Amino acid sequence: MKGKLKSFMRKWWLMALVSTLALSLTSCAKRKNYNLSGYYGFTQCDGTNWSFDVYLFRSQAQNGLYELVVMPVQIDTPGDIASITIANQQQAYKQLVSQVVLNPEQEISAGTITYADLTNYPILAITAFDPTTSFISQNSAKSAFCEIPMPGDNVPTNQQQYYPN
């Protein structure tokens, strides 16, 4: 993890630690094993000119929704403009972000997707922005394709958490 994502994870763990300490000091908590792997998924998405870390977080506000976050790791030309699309092998697709400027370690919120989106469009495509052609017709030299991670993919399991009684 790099940059902002590393900072985000550090802040998240710090908040978890402070909450745990507060609950344990008030004797209102019990320790139990909880699988945090169900909260988010992670994968690396590498292309010929671009490389990304991809995170899928379960929505805390609404069951069945997921937040897709893309973190550029390596961009051959900072400032490249890309589109972010989810697709399947039957050439169906749903564009999430029409245009976004890519800079290394600058987090991109690609939007909220449903469980149906995850099952219908399992492929994440990050391609060079081209307003003259459709996603299916593109033949971009700059692109990255990968499978969208599901919650639990590539994350540690059975981490201890504190919960109020």
CATH number where 70 lies: 2.60.40
Tell me, yes or no, whether 84 and 4 share the same domain. Answer: no
**Range 156-164 average pLDDT:** 44
Pick from 1-5, 57-61, 74-78, 145-149: least confident: 1-5
Tell me, yes or no, whether 125 and 60 share the same domain. Answer: yes
Burial 74-92 (b: 16+ CB within 10 A, else e): ebeeeebebbbbbbeeeee
Tell me, yes or no, whether 132 and 54 share the same domain. Answer: yes
Tell me, yes or no, whether 62 and 132 share the same domain. Answer: yes
Burial class (CB in 10 A: 0-12, 13-18, 19+), 64: exposed
Tell me, yes or no, whether 78 and 112 share the same domain. Answer: yes
pLDDT for the residue 38: 62
Burial 2-37 (b: 16+ CB within 10 A, else e): eeebeeeeeeeeeeeeeebeebeeeeebeeeeeebb
Q: Print the domain residue range for 148.
A: 37-152
Q: Note the pTM of the prediction, 2 decimals.
A: 0.70
- As for how many domains the chain has, the answer is 2
Looking at the domain assignment, is residue 48 inside a domain?
A: yes
Tell me, yes or no, whether 61 and 132 share the same domain. Answer: yes
Q: What is the pLDDT of residues 98-110, one digit of tens each?
A: 999 999 999 999 9
Q: What is the pLDDT of residues 60-90, one digit of tens each?
A: 888 889 999 999 999 989 999 999 999 999 9
Any residues with CB less than 8 A from the CB of 43 and at least 6 apart, and which? 53, 54, 146, 147, 148, 149, 153, 154
Looking at the domain assignment, is residue 12 inside a domain?
A: yes
Pair 147, 123: CB distance under 8 Å: yes
Looking at the domain assignment, is residue 4 inside a domain?
A: yes
Burial class (CB in 10 A: 0-12, 13-18, 19+), 67: middle
Looking at the domain assignment, is residue 163 inside a domain?
A: no
Looking at the domain assignment, is residue 73 inside a domain?
A: yes
